[in-house]
Chains A and B, each alone.
Chain A
Amino acid sequence: MTQSAPKSPIVETSRFPTGPLPPRAGAGLKTEHVDAILADEHRIGFLEVHAENYMGGGGPAHRALAAIRREFPLSVHGVGLSIGSEGGIDPVHLERLAGVVERYEPAMVSEHLAWSSHDAGYFNDLLPVPYNAQTLDRVVAHVSQIQDRLKRPILLENPSTYVAFEQSTMSETDFIRDIARKSGCGLLLDVNNVFVSATNHGWKPMHYLRDFPLELVEEIHLAGHAEDVDDEGDLLLIDAHDRPVADAVWKLFEIVISQAGALPTLIEWDNDVPEWPVLRREALLADAILDRLGPASLLGSRHAAE
């Protein structure tokens, strides 16, 4: 008896290619770059979008992202869940995020260690939380709630901050490690944020990286920062995402990769967005470092075997 083709229409288990983010450089997706990315001979490793930009029902934005998703691995990066919020996770917004995740089946979903919403409204910025037991419990509960709804682990990103809290009783690295341990989430290490926060708070970036649980990191962010001064006239760095990655941040990135191995690495450029080739150039710089330092890393090529 010969096997015949199924008569019913083919049931697709997935509308898009599956698989993890590759341990290569990716870029934050900007609408104006979509055509150039699709036409580019250099195939960027992956693309990342802000989930909130795709929470509408349909239209050209979704059409463009679907075209990208058919050809590239995708990471969905939320900016609005307000995980550090005293008021709890907004269930309506969590449903919106779940909708985007179901629609695009991304390889990765990530959010921030920050808050952005209160009864008064949504502030459109990533605001800091004090590091203590009370905040820890709250953040762990919120991350768990999100992961339960999405039915998958998320990555939590370390913040860039400008102020500290008298109420903090823990270091940022201890705080983040405990969140990951208690909630089971992975970590997104934003190396520019490490440099910005270290400068702003007088830490040594190398000490931060030494204390950070690199074994839990599944994605890296790199971006440019701006320089300002604080109340005393000392250097204050602003996480501006409006220029190339700084040399000092590239150096830190090399150290991270030589220890952790090659990891999916995103170039973020959200303001004063340049032409695509400028972003691609940054991505190629990251790829060169991943190729050069990833294979010989201390933690081995745990992510490189895809």
Chain B
Amino acid sequence: MPRNETVTGNRQRDFGAALLNPELPLPQGIVGPHGKNAVKRFAVYRNNVTVSLIDALAGIFPAIQRLVGESFFRDMARLYLAKEPPRSPVIFEYGGGFAAFLERFEPLARYPYLPDVARLERAWLDAFHAADADPLHPGSLGAIPPEHLAGTTFTAHPATRIVRSGFAAVSIFSASREDRALEGIKPGDAEDGLIIRPSDAVEVRRLPAGAAEFFTALIAGASLGEAAGETIARHPGFDLPSAISAMLEAGVFSGCSFGAANSEETA
């Protein structure tokens, strides 16, 4: 390899590696003016990178920060960002692997609900930035001929997310975001969360048993009849009419279509 390439091709890689790992020496060729040292100077970049990314994670996962405490959160975030720096300059998309990181983070093993709370927070921000669409009008199902209802399929609103948890993640998320105590919440109670943005604000709601499976099937493209059948088979007490009116009221979907005509109903 020509010498030139060896030197220049790796320079930013070395610079970047030294940014994330303070144990590494200064990158080659980095100096202060007039022969001055550059250790503290380079540390300014290390600090900028680390602090700005910790701040970004604190902004994305405020409920987690409140639950574990600011100082613990910042130490933990430092470990996470060194392991998984952002892949993209769109910082509001950062932290997709944070929940999985929390699952493996030994010091928090006693709080197994935290990863799902982090998943709710990540989904909240995804919903916040998702594309705009008018929610399906609550009256649109009424306009569909009854014989076509079972075959009707739906288009999810771009903001809609579902997070299923074996813990009381939704209650804990809400309490932490609203700065309330966790008293009265049983962390071991399984909860499913629905994230929606029916108007300008993102909302996180707890779903009744079966509704997450029902909505997930519809989002995946199952027809109303298929999704209802599967859900009722698993949850005999599933209240289908309530689930349908709830999904219309919450703006879970932005469109639906039925039959061979495949006509789209979006208003």
Contacts and interface: CB of A to CB of B under 8 A. Distances in A.
B130 A57 contact: yes
Contact of B39 (A58, A125, A231): A231
A9 interface: no
Interface in B5-40: 8-9, 11-13, 15-17, 19-20, 29-34, 36-40
Nearest to B87: A121
Contact of B88 (A87, A122, A202): A122
A85 interface: yes
Contact count band on A = 35 or more
Given A56-B130, A57-B158, A122-B87, A166 B201 contact: no
A248 interface: no
Contacts of B66: none
A86 interface: yes
A232 interface: yes
B12 A115 contact: yes
Interface string A26-70: 000000000000000000000000001101111111110000000
The secondary-structure label for the interface of chain B is: helix
A53 B159 CA distance: 17
A96 interface: yes
B41 A163 contact: yes
B49 interface: yes
Interface stretch (B89-97, B178-186, B238-246, B259-267): B89-97
B20 A55 contact: no
B85 interface: yes
B89 A230 contact: no
A55 B93 CA distance: 10
A60 B32 contact: no
Interface in B107-165: 127-133, 158-159
Given A80-B90, A118-B12, A125-B45, A61 B129 contact: yes
A162 B89 contact: no
A96 B123 CA distance: 21
B13 A119 contact: yes
Nearest to B44: A162
Contacts of A141: none
B260 to A, nearest CB: 31
B211 interface: no
A133 B202 CA distance: 50
5 contacts: A62-B132, A123-B16, A162-B44, A163-B41, A165-B29
Interface of B: 4, 8-9, 11-13, 15-17, 19-20, 29-34, 36-42, 44-45, 48-49, 52-53, 56, 84-92, 127-133, 158-159, 197, 200-201
Interface of A: 52-53, 55-63, 79-82, 85-87, 93, 96, 115-125, 127, 130, 134, 162-167, 200-202, 228-232, 234, 236, 238
Given A60-B200, A120-B17, A124-B86, 5 more contacts: A56-B130, A93-B88, A120-B20, A127-B45, A164-B32
